[in-house]
Every structure is written in structure tokens, then in C-alpha cells.
A and B are shown apart, each in its own frame.
Chain A
Amino acid sequence: MDEATTILFEDYLEGILSEEDRFAFEKRLEEDAEFASNFHTYKDIRDHLSHEFSEERNEFKDQLNTISDGYFEKGTSEEKETKVIRFRPWQYGIAASIALLIGFFIFQNAGSLEHGDFTFSEQITLTERSDSSEALKQAEDAFNEGNYEVAIPFLSAALENNPDNPELLFYKALAHDALEEYTAADSLYERLRAGNSLFKHKAAFYKAISLWKRDNIEGAQSLLNTIPENAPEYKDAQKILKKL
């Protein structure tokens, strides 16, 4: 199978052949067994790749992860609930000192930085213009209420009309991130980082926070190091780098 044939396969599958060429291609598929066999293998692999790397599959995988975690955690917490601890009077004293100790540690840690300090907490506005769609309004409301599961489908709907809108992509990434659907979040953060929009460094920054949350300190550090001095996130990035 030579280069020209491979390129021809791709052009055919992308539907960019002229009618005449397409007709000739299909005729050859019927007549030339080797050509047909090569094409079918090529197409099978291409279908596999196209599915394997699709955002849809990522979203499915993330949701499956959440469901699986939920199912298995529930099982163990039910076991825990059945073990009732009975306190005897003398144990109250011990419990009280433990509570004091915990309080002390919380107090001790109050001065240090945590990833939670940098969680995105702004209210978003998607509906400045009067012609804003219903999906945008719904996405904005749901997002601001922290109802990310609801916000995501509305963001997706809004993205259908405007598939490359970096702002919408950014909020969708944050929503997935908040739901701990990291594959979907990362893929969107990466997409923004590859572009040149205003959200390029924002995406790097929030992905870094997310990696920090997931205990991937090295990943977080290397992302924070990509944020240039002129970006608004630079100061915070440097602060975190010192702490990490």
C-alpha cells in the first residue's frame, strides 16, 4: 500500500473526492480485492481511533468512574454505619482532648496555602448581549449556583453554535473539573492551552490547581512554570510554586 493510496483512502473517508473520483473509487473497491481489503483495515483502524480519542468517550469514561466510585463507596460506608461506637463516660475526656488537638492543627495550618484557596469562585456572565440564547442563560445560572451537572449540557448546547468559543470551553472545563471528571476537563484545558485566546494561561493555571488537588505536584509545577510574567495569573502561580 503506497502513500498515494493511503491519502486517497483518507480523502474518500473525509468526503472530499469529486463525484467522478468517488465513483471510480467505489468501482475499484468492488473489483480489486486487495485494494478493498486494505481499505477495510484502514477504515477499521480509523474508526477505532476516532472513537478512542473522542470527547464523547472521555465523558462516558468519567461518568462511569463516578458511578463506579459511588457504587463501591456506598458499599463500604454501609458497613461502617453498622459499627456503632459506644462511649463510656471516661472516654468523653479523651474525645474532648482529641477535638482540642484537631482544633490546634487546623489553627496551625491556617496560614499556609491550599489548592482550595485558588478554586475558581467568580460569578460568570455569559449573557451580556441582548441576543443571548436560552442555553447561555441556563448555563450561566446553573454554573453560578454550583450546579455543574446541569451547566455542562447547556454549555455544550451553546458550543454547538460556536464550537471554538474559548470562554465557553473554559467554563466547561471548570465544570468538569469540579465534578472530578478529569479526563474531560483536561482535554478542554489542553485545547485552550494549544490556542492563543485570552484563556490560554488561565487554562494552564486552573489545570495546575486541579493537578495539585489530585496530588500531581510535578505536573502542577511544570504547568505553572509555563505562565509568562505578563499574564494576570503570574503572581499567584509564583506564590504557589514557592509553596510547592
Chain B
Amino acid sequence: MGQNTVHEDQKYIDALLQNDGKRIQEIYSKFAPKVIGFVKQNSGDEDAAKDLIQEVIMIIYDQAKTKNLKLSCPFDAYFFMICKRKWYSKLKKNAKEQVTNEPYSGFDSETLHEQVQETEQFDTKMQLYKELFQKLGDTCKEILQLSFGSFSMEEIANQLDISYAYARKKKSLCIGQLTKWVQASPLYKQLKEI
């Protein structure tokens, strides 16, 4: 993807990165109506559209923050395509049908296709991380949550009544445990092969 030039709509991604309220409102007023219309036509209501839009903006924000997302296609098409495909996969899940990967169709350009695919893979991987995080023990969860939140390692050690050295060691062992689970996951292997 590196060779593609950055699209002028990168300004919307930058707005998310800077938590620029005005621009984010603009994202809603410009791009939400189309998504709402689509969801309503496909067995959903306004509340479902609201949740979907918020979920997709969070995914794009997360990708922008951690993976330096650079937009090489128009935001409109990119955003709508992700919302649409995510909505279809939700409908399928609810219908308890077997979830098969939607063929990547209906893209008007190869750049859009690549960009959407990249975001979806990012989303799948994050879902996997979150799911495995939930399987950790309570101490691990607490240490990780607090140490990456606004707490210092000293405060955490104090709160959990453990030594500073142990808290530090435990933190890396907990991430190590997650690493092992992630590596053993078939889904992760699939993602790596793409």
C-alpha cells in the first residue's frame, strides 16, 4: 500500500486522531445519512445504524492511532463499504447462518478494495486480542488495564498489595501469555498468511 498517494480525505482521519469535535460532527452530517438509509433498508433501525457508525469510527480511529492509517481513496466510499460489510456480517450472525467471508465485490477501485481489506483484517485481529484478553486471570487483567491506563507501576503494586518488582514481572508475563495464545490461534495464522 506504501506507494499509493494519500487522499485529501485524510483530513477526516486526522480529525479522528486529533479528536477534533467539529470535523467529527462533519463526518456525521456528511456520511451518516447514507449508512442510516442502508441499514433501514436492510432490516435495521436508526438505533442499529447509530451503533454501527460508532463502532466503525472506533475501528478506524484505532487503526489510525496504532497503525498509522493513511487513506488513499475517498473517505465516503471507504466508510460506507466498511459499514455495509459489517452490517451484512452482523445480519448473518443473528440469523445463525454459517458466517462465510463476503466476497470482495462492488468496489469501484483496487485502492478502495485494499484499504477496506486492510481495515477489516485489523478489526479481526483486534477482536481476537480482546477475546483472548478476557481469558486472562483477574490479576493479569487488572495489572494490564491499570498500567496502560493512568496508573504508575508503584500505585498498582500498592493497590494489589504486591511488590513493585513482582508487578513489573507479572506485567510482562501476562503479555507473554497473550502472545502465546495469539500465536496458537488458527485465525491469527490465517491473518498472517494473507
Contacts and interface: CB of A to CB of B under 8 A. Distances in A.
Interface stretch (A20-28, A41-49, A120-128): A41-49
Nearest to A11: B172
A63 B18 CA distance: 12
Chain B interface bracket (under 10, 10 to 19, 20 to 34, 35 or more): 35 or more
A59 B19 contact: yes
Contacts of B155: 191, 194-195
Interface string B25-36: 100110010000
A48 B129 contact: yes
B81 interface: no
Given A45-B129, A51-B62, A53-B145, A10 B150 contact: no
A49 B65 contact: no
A6 B173 contact: yes
Interface stretch (B52-60, B85-93, B95-103, B110-118): B52-60
Contacts of A49: 129, 133, 144, 148, 175
Interface string A130-144: 000000000000000
Contacts of B159: 194
Interface stretch (A64-72, A101-109, A214-222, A229-237): A64-72
B178 interface: yes
A159 to B, nearest CB: 10
Contact of B65 (A7, A38, A51, A55): A51
B175 A6 contact: yes
A63 B23 CA distance: 12
A191 B25 contact: no
Nearest to B156: A194
A118 interface: no
A50 interface: yes
Nearest to B20: A63
Interface residues of A, number: 42
Contact of B21 (A52, A57, A67): A67
Contacts of B28: 67-68, 71
A64 B58 contact: yes
B24 interface: yes
A226 interface: no
A54 interface: yes
Nearest to A46: B175
Contact of A64 (B57, B130, B133, B183): B57
A72 B129 contact: no
A187 B25 contact: no
Contacts of B66: 47-48, 51
A75 B40 CA distance: 15
Contact of B179 (A41, A60, A61, A68): A41
